[in-house]
Amino acid sequence: MVKKRTWASIYLFCVFVVLYLPIFYLMFYSFNKAGTMTHFTGFTLDWYKEVFSDKRLIVIVIDTVIVALLSSVISTALGVVGALAVYSTKRRSAKNALLSLNNILMVSPDVIIGASFLILFTLIGIKLGFVSVLLAHIAFSVPIVVLMVLPKLQEMSPTFIDAARDLGARRRDVLLKVVLPFITPGIFAGFFMALTYSLDDFAVTFFVTGNGFSTLSVEIYSRARQGISMSVNALSTLIFLITLAIVLVYYFFSNGIGKAKSYSGGRRV
């Protein structure tokens, strides 16, 4: 038994090494004086200075964050409404059809979604740039939010709604005071999922972005093509750390709050 567990731990360790080694490799050389990824000649923060002094890059980072926050807030709102609509659809066939349409958007390749948005935007004459990127990000985030919120709704006993109505609640009260509080963890999960999807999206953004507007992933891609500079490594390290922070915040929301609350009531007799 003990032996089995050691082997399992070793296996798990190896998997994580394989997954994380390239990232740590990249992070390690972001401190390299030599400016290459072959010989480590000495520690420096020059590449980070370069990143922070690069005005264009700072603007892109801000743009990326704005697009991510805006698109995830809007898509969370739309996704919650969508999930409620799917949940309250009575007919089984209609419900399944809606869900399938939602899931197709989830599984179809980003390249196809990006290309089709490009066609759509040029057809209806939306200028490629901030608006087109935002719209595209909202569009691919909504299905994610729906998928995160819907299980929470299905987990909810239908008698909650009956009970609220029975106690005098109008439809609005039922939604605001019973349904929404119950699905809040799902809403947060959906929001953070949408945020990460938007932050690291490359393919869709690459298609729909235009002159003068770029996001980080697109920018890194174009810089990497011109030859690797260690400032790309420094930038990637920063993004990795920020992503890690977001994951931790998400973890805090999904676990921390629920637990802290349930223990505040004291122990059971």
Partner 1 sequence: MAEKMMIQFDHVTKKFDGETILRDISFDIERGKFYTLLGPSGCGKTTILRLIAGFLEPTEGTLTFDGQLVNKIPPNKRQVNTVFQDYALFPHLNVFENVAFGLRINKLASKEIAPRVKEALHFVNLDGYQNREISDLSGGQKQRVAIARAIVNRPQVLLLDEPLSALDLKLRTAMQFELRQLQRRLGITFIFVTHDQEEALAMSDEIFVLNQGKIEQSGSPRSIYDEPINRFVADFIGESNIIPGKMPQDRVVSFAGKTFNCVDQGFNKNESVEVVIRPEDLELKQRGEGLLQVRVESQLFRGVHYEIIGKDEAGNSWMIHSTKSAKINDEIGLYFEPEAIHIMRHGESEEDFDRRLESYEGADHD
The nearest distance, CB 80 to partner 1, in angstroms, is: 16
The nearest distance, CB 157 to partner 1, in angstroms, is: 6
The nearest distance, CB 267 to partner 1, in angstroms, is: 8
Between 16 and 162, CB nearer to partner 1: 162
Q: What are phi and psi of 259, to 5 degrees?
A: -70, -45
Cα–Cα distance between 215 and 223 in angstroms, integer? Answer: 12
SS3 content of the chain, % helix, strand, coil (to 5): 80, 0, 20
Three-class SS of 124-190: HCCCCCHHHHHHHHHHHHHHHHHHHHHHHHHHCCHHHHHHHHHCCCCHHHHHHHHHHHHHHHHHHHH
The nearest distance, CB 189 to partner 1, in angstroms, is: 16
The nearest distance, CB 184 to partner 1, in angstroms, is: 8
Burial status of residue 89 (CB atoms within 10 A of its CB: 0-12, 13-18, 19 or more) = middle
Subset of 60-89 contacting partner 1 (CB under 8 A): none
Cα–Cα distance between 175 and 171 in angstroms, integer? Answer: 6
Nearest alpha carbon to residue 86 among 136, 163, 159, 142: 142
The nearest distance, CB 163 to partner 1, in angstroms, is: 4
Q: Three-class SS of residue 32?
A: strand
Between 142 and 164, CB nearer to partner 1: 164
Residue 83 is classified by DSSP as: H
Between 178 and 199, CB nearer to partner 1: 178
The nearest distance, CB 186 to partner 1, in angstroms, is: 13
Check binding of 24 to partner 1 (CB under 8 A): no
For Cα atoms 238, 242, 247, give the angle at the middle one, nearest 5 degrees: 145
Check binding of 149 to partner 1 (CB under 8 A): no
Binding mask 154-193 for partner 1 (x = CB under 8 A): ---x-xx-xxxxxxxxx--x---xx--xx-x---------
230, 47 Cβ separation under 8 angstroms: yes
Between 163 and 244, CB nearer to partner 1: 163
User: Would you state the structure tokens that stand for residue 154, as one six-digit string?
Assistant: 């299905």
Size of the site for partner 1 (CB under 8 A): 25
Between 183 and 194, CB nearer to partner 1: 183
Check binding of 268 to partner 1 (CB under 8 A): yes
Between 42 and 158, CB nearer to partner 1: 158
Between 109 and 158, CB nearer to partner 1: 158
Cα–Cα distance between 232 and 223 in angstroms, integer? Answer: 8
What residue ranges bind partner 1 (CB under 8 A)? 157, 159-160, 162-170, 173, 177-178, 181-182, 184, 261-262, 264-268
